[in-house]
Amino acid sequence: MTGQLGDAWRHCIGAGRFELALRRDYQDSLALLQREIGFRHIRQHGLFSAGAGVHRPYEYGGERQVLHSFTYVDQVVDMYLELGIRPFVELGFMPPGLASGDQTVFWWRGNVTPPSDRAEWAALVRGTVAHLVDRYGLDEVRGWPIEVWNEPDLKDFWQHADQDAYHDLFEVTAHAVKDVDAGLQVGGPALSPGADDGWLPRFAEFVSARGVPIDFVSRHAYTSGAAQHVPFGVHQTLAPAATLLEQFAAPGRQLAGTALEGLPVHITEFNSSYRPDNPVHDTAFHAAYLAPVVAAAGDLVDSFSYWTFCDVFEEAGVPAALFHGGFGLLTHRQIRKPTFHLYAFLARMGGEVLARADDHLVTRDGTGRVTVLAWAAGQGSDGHRIRLSVPVGSPAVTAYVARSSVSEEAGNAWAAWREMGSPRSPGARQLDALREASEPARRHWSAPVVDGRAELDLTLAVHEVTLVEVTAVRDETPPWWDDARLLGGPA
């Protein structure tokens, strides 16, 4: 297989609700994420919820007035841009002062009812988008996708899961965005994995019939079953990882023959479990489980956003356990989890795809460096063997091979924490040990090059994800150098 390695995996990353971005541990986590991986956009709930303080109704002169306050919005977006990441704007949830009901979701009470005043909602959207354009420039904000709501097909996220009411919300919102500038990107409907096959075609029929502007389509993908509750957490069965790829492909299938066929498709949330309190996210199993998905999904969609990057994430309440939700335990001295390393490995791969299989991906960059991402995703995959012959190029005689791995034994802070007795509040020495345990296992060796190729014989442990980097050696050893003389022996 040849072609270019896409970067749909890098387009966006999910995060906790909007105002959590004001916290230092969140910002430190994001800085690490950008330094080691580097995402383009970040998406989160709650831009219009009470905690962000945007919609501020008041009374003056006996009349209702509304102030749009962007104090927190500016602080957060300024920080994002400084770190080289841009908003993937989610418009929601309903401000308490504009809500038509009192139904909420999550412990922080995001309101999920339609607006009590359609015109006031449109003014809020228009005012917010206009402020972003004024502050950051039209060319900049044109590059920020703007998504209308979150999972309106679920009663938990949209009152009665009323599709007609969502269509009305989308129409007024899309026009409000385009009132600011026709070149701004607006889309939706951010459907859940459980949406019936008719939801998206009906949405396409509505926007087409009404002439509602739309620039992209979005949905979510998860593989977890019903939650089995335990104190301060859940366990869930997981469908095969290939189910995620089937969900990614669904919008293209459902929109075939509609007016929305061919629009960009963004998976604005994906993971195994949608629950932040499911400890499966912290395991080596999870990285190996998702490896074939992140390696292949770019062929199906324009982006797919992992939900979420960081343990500063409070949908189910303030975390009661040390490990919680995100793919990096970054709030405690930036301890990384195996899935973090999967993404960091992918960030180090080259652009040209040389080979792809069920258990590995091979790429080459512009310098000739060959990279291999390999995984052992099966439950009984200990001792999984992969043999590869990789092109290094002539006239090299040897190649330098560097291998980094995470598994049940290596790069696994979760396993180390369990071995410590699962301390609730680790001390400084324990945190240092966890940070060290979270580092990948690394080794290196010299491989002979024959006819421009180096042979790799890789054996992977159970749930291992490994990155192998192969670089042709230009030998600059001085002619007088002799290792035998290191201890003063004769030449």
> What residues are labeled active site?
151, 269
Question: What does the alpha-carbon distance between residue 438 and residue 424 come to, in Å, rounded to a whole number?
Answer: 18
DSSP character string of 25-90: HHHHHHHHHHHHT--SEEE-S-TTSGGG--EEEEEETTEEEEEE--HHHHHHHHHHHHTT-EE-EE
Closest among 377, 403, 358 to 288, alpha carbons compared? 377
Question: What does the alpha-carbon distance between residue 328 and residue 335 come to, in Å, rounded to a whole number?
Answer: 7
Question: What does the alpha-carbon distance between residue 153 and residue 170 come to, in Å, rounded to a whole number?
Answer: 13
Question: What does the alpha-carbon distance between residue 289 and residue 465 come to, in Å, rounded to a whole number?
Answer: 10
Give the 3-state secondary structure of residue 258. coil
**Do the beta carbons of residue 429 and residue 401 sit within 8 Å?**
no
Question: What does the alpha-carbon distance between residue 108 and residue 317 come to, in Å, rounded to a whole number?
Answer: 8
Q: Which amino acid, 288?
A: A
Kindly report the backbone phi and psi dihedral angles of residue 226, in degrees, each rounded to the nearest multiple of 5, phi listed first: -60, 145
- b/e 442-461 (16+ beta carbons within 10 angstroms → b): eeeeebebeeebbebebebb
Q: Which amino acid, 131?
A: H
Closest among 295, 288, 208 to 248, alpha carbons compared? 295
Closest among 391, 373, 485 to 447, alpha carbons compared? 391
Question: What does the alpha-carbon distance between residue 59 and residue 248 come to, in Å, rounded to a whole number?
Answer: 47
Pairing mode of beta strands 370-375, 360-364: antiparallel
- b/e 241-260 (16+ beta carbons within 10 angstroms → b): bebbbebbbbbeebbeebeb
The tokens describing 453, both together, are 């190729």
The helix (H) or strand (E) run that includes residue 362 is strand 360-364
E-assigned strands of 365-452?
Answer: 370-375, 384-391, 398-406, 441-450
DSSP 16: S
Kindly report the backbone phi and psi dihedral angles of residue 387, in degrees, each rounded to the nearest multiple of 5, phi listed first: -110, 130
Q: Which amino acid, 341?
A: H
